[in-house]
């Protein structure tokens, strides 16, 4: 089991500049509270979550407050307001939330609402259901007092119009098509969206001072996706899973690959078997490779996990995945390990 020692760092920014060696995890006792999020820019989201965690608040409140930061950020093109639209130019949002009691809520393909995570929480708390989609989710949000807004910013509209010029999208990427290409030994199997596009979905996991875990995941999904497409992020067990006895996990990257192997649930079950968060994430990534082989050339999937001791880890298919941590020791960004060179 990998152990890291956290050293004291007082500011939010300084740790980002610190070398990796300056930050490691002691492994003695339980590190709590703690919050961990996919992708480096989400140090800001962690800082917001930290306000709740450091004042003794509940992990559930912390993760909701935390992920609202990228949801409201017009410069974050993968989450909430300013998220890149589908191929018809419409921004549709997916989000889910899960607490220590296995309460769950999610919204899928929600339009015109700035904070899908808060709607997901209300689905969890105010309805007899666990998932609402599309117009029904919107009507529910409006009935709960959410304001209807235009989520397409000038920047995301411009990016969409740019994409329209080439419309690099292969809706015919069926299993049949893929198998044909593999048979022809094509070196590069095109994915139906620009793979260079950042996958910046935020998945956030937290443990509060009472040792309770919660998680939240929110995204605008794959850029220029087919209308109605829903990825892993709002699906409990795929984009997020929390088991208060064991740990929590979340994912980012091409959701189709995560959904088919119940990614986050798989990571938590691997931790239940005794694997560290990092090894559990690695084994989940390896399972995708085993299942899909050549079919996943050039795509990214990353998992992030936190266990009940406050140990954490991440692993991805491709280079480039990173994640942000905050504890009493300060804030730090880690580069995730990855399978492919």
CB 304 → ligand ASP: shortest distance, Å? 11
Interaction between residue 232 and ligand ASP (CB under 6 A): yes
Q: Which stretch binds ligand ASP (CB under 6 A): 129-137, 247-255, 264-272, 319-327?
A: 247-255
Q: Which stretch binds ligand ASP (CB under 6 A): 66-74, 193-201, 207-215, 321-329?
A: 193-201
- Say whether 165 sits in a helix, a strand or coil: helix
∠ at Cα 21 (206, 49), nearest 5°? 20
Strands 301-307 and 247-253: antiparallel
State the DSSP string of 23-84: -B---SS---SEEEEESGGGHHHHHHHHHHHHTT--HHHHHHHHHHHHHH-TT-TTSSTT--
Interaction between residue 253 and ligand ASP (CB under 6 A): yes
Interaction between residue 255 and ligand ASP (CB under 6 A): yes
CB 94 → ligand ASP: shortest distance, Å? 6
219 is catalytic: no
> Exposure of 136 by Cβ count < 10 A (0-12 exposed, 13-18 middle, 19+ buried)?
middle
Q: Which is nearer to ligand ASP, 9 or 333 (CB)?
A: 333
Q: Which is nearer to ligand ASP, 212 or 219 (CB)?
A: 219
CB 202 → ligand ASP: shortest distance, Å? 9
CB 108 within 8 A of CB 131: yes
CB 307 → ligand ASP: shortest distance, Å? 22
CB 27 → ligand ASP: shortest distance, Å? 30
List 38, 52, 92, 201, catalytic entry:
201
Between CA 281 and CA 38 the distance in angstroms is 13
End-to-end CA distance of the chain: 23
CB 291 → ligand ASP: shortest distance, Å? 17
Between CA 309 and CA 219 the distance in angstroms is 28
CA distances (Å), origin 41, targets 28, 47, 75, 143: 29, 11, 11, 33
Interaction between residue 222 and ligand ASP (CB under 6 A): yes
CB 264 within 8 A of CB 238: yes
Taking CB under 6 A as the criterion, the residue among 31, 37, 78, 266 binding ligand ASP is 78
Binding mask 33-72 for ligand ASP (x = CB under 6 A): ----------------------------------------
Interaction between residue 192 and ligand ASP (CB under 6 A): no
Q: Which stretch binds ligand ASP (CB under 6 A): 28-36, 207-215, 246-254, 324-332?
A: 246-254
CA atoms within 13 A on the CB side of 82: 13
Taking CB under 6 A as the criterion, the residue among 106, 233, 276, 331 binding ligand ASP is 233
CA distances (Å), origin 272, targets 74, 154, 311: 38, 46, 14
By annotation, the residues acting in catalysis are 201
Using CB under 6 A, list all residues that contact ligand ASP: 78, 199-201, 219, 221-222, 231-233, 252-255
């Amino acid at each position: 089991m990998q152990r890291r020692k956290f050293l004291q760092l007082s500011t939010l920014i300084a740790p980002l500049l610190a070398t990796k060696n300056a930050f490691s995890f002691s492994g003695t006792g339980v590190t709590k509270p703690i919050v961990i999020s996919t992708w480096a820019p989400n140090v800001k989201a962690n800082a917001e979550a930290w306000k709740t965690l450091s004042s003794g608040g509940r992990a559930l409140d912390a993760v909701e407050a935390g992920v609202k930061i990228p949801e409201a950020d017009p410069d974050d093109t993968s989450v909430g307001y300013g998220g890149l639209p589908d191929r018809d130019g419409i921004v549709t949002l997916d989000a889910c939330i899960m607490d220590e009691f296995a309460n769950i809520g999610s919204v899928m393909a929600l339009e015109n609402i700035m904070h899908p995570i808060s709607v997901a929480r209300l689905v969890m708390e105010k309805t007899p259901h666990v998932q609402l989609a599309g117009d029904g989710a919107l009507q529910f949000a409006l009935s709960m007092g959410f304001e209807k807004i235009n989520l397409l910013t000038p920047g995301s509209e411009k990016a969409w119009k740019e994409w329209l010029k080439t419309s690099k999208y292969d809706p015919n990427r069926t299993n049949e098509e893929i198998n044909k290409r593999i048979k022809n030994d094509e070196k590069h199997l095109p994915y139906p969206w620009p793979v260079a596009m950042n996958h910046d979905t935020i998945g956030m996991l937290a443990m509060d001072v009472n040792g309770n875990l919660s998680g939240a995941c929110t995204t605008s999904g794959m850029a220029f996706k087919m209308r109605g497409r829903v990825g892993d992020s709002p699906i409990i067990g795929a984009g997020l899973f929390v088991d208060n006895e064991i740990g929590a996990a979340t994912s980012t990257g091409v959701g189709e690959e995560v959904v088919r192997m119940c990614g986050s649930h798989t990571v938590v079950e691997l931790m239940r078997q005794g694997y560290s968060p990092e090894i559990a994430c690695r084994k989940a990534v390896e399972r995708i490779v085993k299942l899909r082989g050549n079919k996943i050339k050039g795509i990214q999937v990353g998992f992030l996990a936190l266990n009940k001791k406050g140990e954490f880890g991440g692993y991805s298919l491709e280079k480039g995945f990173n994640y942000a941590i905050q504890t009493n020791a300060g804030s730090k960004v880690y580069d995730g390990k990855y399978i492919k060179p």
